[in-house]
Amino acid sequence: MSIEIRNISKRFGEVQALKDVSITLEENKIYGLLGRNGAGKSTLLNLLTGRIFADSGTITLDGEPALENDRAQGKLFLMSESTLHPDSMKVRSAFRWAGAFYPGFDLDYAMALAGDFGLSTGAKISGLSTGYHSIFKLILALSVNVPYVLLDEPILGLDANHRELFYKRLLEKYAEKPFTVVLSTHLIEEVASLVEDVIIIKEGRVLRQESRDSLLSQGYMVSGGAAAVGAYLQGKEVLGVDSLGGLRTAYILGKPDKTAQSAQDLEFAPMDLQKLFIQLTNQ
Amino acid sequence: MNIRHSFRYQLRDQAPAIGVFYGVLVGMIILNLIFLPFAGPNANLTITSGGITAPTAFFAFILSLCAFKDSFLMGMQHGVSRRSHFAARIGAMGAVCAILAVADEVYTLLIALLSVFFPKSFFAHSLYEMCYCSDMIQSGRDFTYTVNTTGITVLLSIVFSFFLLLAVCAFGYLITVLNYRLNKTGKIILWCGWPGLFIAGSAFLEANPQLANSLVPALIALARLTLSTLPRLCVTCLMLTAVFSGLTWLLMRRAYVKK
């Protein structure tokens, strides 16, 4: 049970949005889909849901073709940056229609979540602020009860309280009945503790797809005086270095060598997902 | 399953507009009835419905022009394939045309019923009756039209309206899908191109009267061949619907989501 994306390429005019991308999204996992602006994250999600067509490659969902297939698409739910609901539609009506199209949609849960977030169900979708628009989308995604939920920039415009509430409800829902979640976001630090697997896309290519723990265990951070750090870095695979005055922080692939002579006076720390992402995508 | 829900959605999407359209028509009757007692003997308070299907056809065309984008995007949001959406659209189009055809006849009959009580103020015949069941009698310089209404013409009026509206709706939907698929340049070329082509064609016919003289009789012969009887009209409309819908599917099957 998985989504298999094989050798997908997509070009928009002069821009090669995706190049020969192959990814597997397994069931009941939370994925972080990370990439810089224009890396191809949204394009990938739109391809998965058949909103646009790939130039080449295949997408299968639980063994059957995913595109133009109602049964396969019924297992997927994408909440993209802009909703595809009519502007004049009210929130309550959108919930009802979601219930018609998705048999598993939990209307009571959606209404309860709307209450938790303070979303008026009588409001028109087009009249919602950016934050409440995101909340509306999140409520739909959390209530739809399908095996694969894809969230493109889910926390756009949300204040800290609402973000916290969303993460809490997402984990509750996941703990109650696991499902696959793909979180495409730029707020890496916030989702770092949520995601199990990380997919990093750079310029239309998949740079990394592995578990967060495995990814982070491949490197570490070391900081200290510029000269000491410089000496320590000799012969090591360095991802990048940040400097602030006389202090330096280096991001290194491999295992920390704390016993080395040059390691004295240095501080070692596990690799941070956001730092690793920045270093990997800056290269 | 998705076809059924998509069908329901598309039908519900068009229901308010249909309600408003017939609401206005019935409102005009009610207004007339309200003002009738206050009208003087020379007042001209008349509601005639000579072929309500003609304005309904315009309405159905506009309705179809507005029927694609919102429902297509809504379907895509809810995992409805283009194929299912198209199948649901054909069903919804048929249902809407049936509703409009029946509503037109009910409206015509309503006015016909009122004409029994207020013969000077109400007068109605269906478009089918006017086109296929009327006789023109000339006496001197005056023409008199007589329309024969029977129980069977009432039923045939519904059949006539249904097939006519079906072709009109299919055409409107084709145009809106074509418009959706075109980029900005394509839209400009299309919407400026048609009037340009029309003007150029008119000028060309004006400059070549022999061509116009042979074209007009050909068009009349074509109209006779395709529209002269109700069965011919039904077949023609059905064929047009099939052609328009086929072209619509070709455009729709690779349509991207564009907000």
Distance CA A42, CA A150 (A): 10
Do the Cβ atoms of A70 and B84 come within 8 Å? yes
Note which residues in 100-159 of chain A have CB less than 8 A from chain B. Answer: 100-102
Does the beta carbon of A76 lie under 8 angstroms from any beta carbon of chain B? yes
The shortest CB-CB distance from B79 to any of A76, A86, A97 is to: A76
When pLDDT is averaged across residues B137-163 and rounded to a whole number, the result is 84
The shortest CB-CB distance from A53 to any of B73, B81, B254 is to: B254
Does the beta carbon of B184 lie under 8 angstroms from any beta carbon of chain A? no
What is the token pair recorded at B39? Answer: 């009208």
Chain A residues in contact with B252 by the CB 8 A cut-off are: none
Letter for the amino acid at B233?
L
**Per-residue pLDDT at B118:** 83
Whole-Å CA distances, A81 to A10, A42, A101, A130, A216 = 20, 9, 21, 10, 29
**Per-residue pLDDT at B43:** 67
When pLDDT is averaged across residues B163-186 and rounded to a whole number, the result is 96
Long-range contacts of B83-86 (CB under 8 A, 24+ apart): B83/A68, B83/B253, B84/A70, B84/B2, B84/B3, B84/B6, B85/B6, B85/B252, B86/B248, B86/B249, B86/B252, B86/B253
Q: What is the pLDDT of residues B204-233, one digit of tens each?
A: 988 998 888 888 899 999 999 999 999 999
**Per-residue pLDDT at A283:** 67
Q: What is the pLDDT of residues B89-111, one digit of tens each?
A: 999 999 999 999 999 999 999 99
Chain A residues in contact with B17 by the CB 8 A cut-off are: none
When pLDDT is averaged across residues B127-146 and rounded to a whole number, the result is 80
**pLDDT reading at B132 higher than 70:** yes
Residue of chain A with shortest Cα separation from B259: A84
Say if the ipTM goes beyond 0.90.
no
**Per-residue pLDDT at A98:** 96
Does the beta carbon of B78 lie under 8 angstroms from any beta carbon of chain A? yes
The shortest CB-CB distance from B79 to any of A73, A85, A86 is to: A73
Distance from CA of B16 to the nearest CA of A (A): 13
Backbone angles phi, psi at A144, to 5 degrees: -75, -25
Note which residues in 47-76 of chain B have CB less than 8 A from chain A. Answer: 70, 73-74, 76
- Looking at chain B, how many residues does it have? 259
Q: What is the pLDDT of residues B47-82, one digit of tens each?
A: 777 788 999 999 999 999 999 999 999 999 999 999
- The series of mean pLDDT values per 10 residues for chain A, 283 residues long, is 94 93 94 92 95 95 92 93 90 96 95 96 94 95 96 90 94 94 90 91 92 89 90 86 89 85 85 85 77
Letter for the amino acid at A109?
Y
**Per-residue pLDDT at B141:** 75
Do the Cβ atoms of B257 and A46 come within 8 Å? yes
Q: What is the DSSP code (8-state) at residue A193?
A: T
Longest dimension (CA), chain A: 68
The shortest CB-CB distance from A73 to any of B81, B256, B259 is to: B81
Residue B218 CB partners (closer than 8 Å, separation 6+): none
Contact A191, A153 (CB under 8 A): no
Tell which wins on pLDDT, A186 or B174.
B174
Cα angle at B106 between B105 and B112, to 5 degrees? 90
Closest CA to A55 of A93, A23, A13: A13
Do the Cβ atoms of B78 and A97 come within 8 Å? yes
Residue with token string 């996941």: A174
The shortest CB-CB distance from A69 to any of B1, B5, B81 is to: B81
**Per-residue pLDDT at A247:** 92
Contact A37, A85 (CB under 8 A): no
Do the Cβ atoms of A50 and B8 come within 8 Å? no
Do the Cβ atoms of A74 and B79 come within 8 Å? yes
A3, A45, A51, A84, best to mutate vs chain B, most B CBs in 10 Å: A84
Does the beta carbon of B185 lie under 8 angstroms from any beta carbon of chain A? no
